[in-house]
Amino acid sequence: MPFLDRRDAGRQLATALAQYKDQAPVILALPRGGVPVAAEIADAFGAPLDLVLVRKIGVPFQPELAMGAVVDGGAALVVRNEDVIQMAGIGDNEFQAIRDRELAEIERRRERYLGGRARVDISGRVVIVIDDGIATGATTRAALRATRARHPKRLVLAVPVAPTESLAAMREEADEVVCPESHEPFGAIGLYYHDFRQVSDDEVCAILARSPAAKPQPAAAR
């Protein structure tokens, strides 16, 4: 297994992203699993850490199979996996009901994780979006599109491991994709970690508490 745990994966990604260290990047994590990965990179780069609140819209009888994803914002951004929706025989009403449930979970997480925490203005900045891996890519695609709408100068996706086919699709959404381990066939993300235990809400809150949302931006990068 290439990674001991998410922190180890974050340290390896930080090495792969070294060219961005002096470009005053903003690090955006997908909770929950992406947060400990992203924290290692934010610490190594002295960069601000923030979240992209995105939720998978799972097939009702197989919740781990994504038929779409939703990201919050001024207006919720929804990405649909039409092939999965058709294969599972999901109608619009059922899809929308599950979408609304995931939006409610996003709101819960916003209050739990962020509360009154200042958000990072990413406009005109180099932004690195981090997760602990990619499966179908629905949540990652939604996160990238929502982040692009906030007008970063450069949008980078960095994940420790992903299916080769999914990475090809991500390159249509991001300016650069960094992934040390890409495989086909892929299996599950957890197969590439020695320790892939679930990240708790408390862990996310603790990481954010010690990772400031805003850090001084070098004059050269402004």
Give the pLDDT of residue 1: 81
Neighbours of 25 (CB within 10 A): 25
Spell out the long-range contacts of 165-169 with Cβ–Cβ below 8 A and sequence spacing 24 or more: 166/134, 166/135, 166/136, 166/137, 166/140, 167/134, 169/137, 169/141
Q: Which residues of 172-193 are buried (b: 16+ CB within 10 A; e: fewer)?
A: ebbebbbbbbbeeebeebeebb
Q: Tell me the pLDDT of the chain (222 aa) as tens digits.
A: 899 999 999 999 999 999 999 999 999 999 999 999 999 999 999 999 999 999 999 999 998 888 999 997 667 789 899 999 999 999 999 999 999 999 999 999 989 999 888 888 999 999 999 999 998 888 899 999 999 999 999 999 999 999 998 999 999 999 999 999 999 888 899 999 999 999 999 999 999 999 877 654 544 444
Give the pLDDT of residue 158: 98
What is 6-54+119-215's CATH topology? Rossmann fold (3.40.50)
CA distances from 157 to 29, 154, 173, 214 (A): 10, 10, 9, 20
Cβ-contact 127, 26 below 8 angstroms? yes
Give the pLDDT of residue 219: 46
Nearest by Cα to 6 from 140, 160, 156, 127 = 160
Q: For 202, list phi and psi in degrees, rounded to 5.
A: -60, -40
Neighbours of 78 (CB within 10 A): 17
Neighbours of 15 (CB within 10 A): 10
The domains of the chain are located at 6-54+119-215, 56-113
Question: Edge to edge, what strands does the sheet with 62-71 contain?
Answer: 54-59, 62-71, 77-80
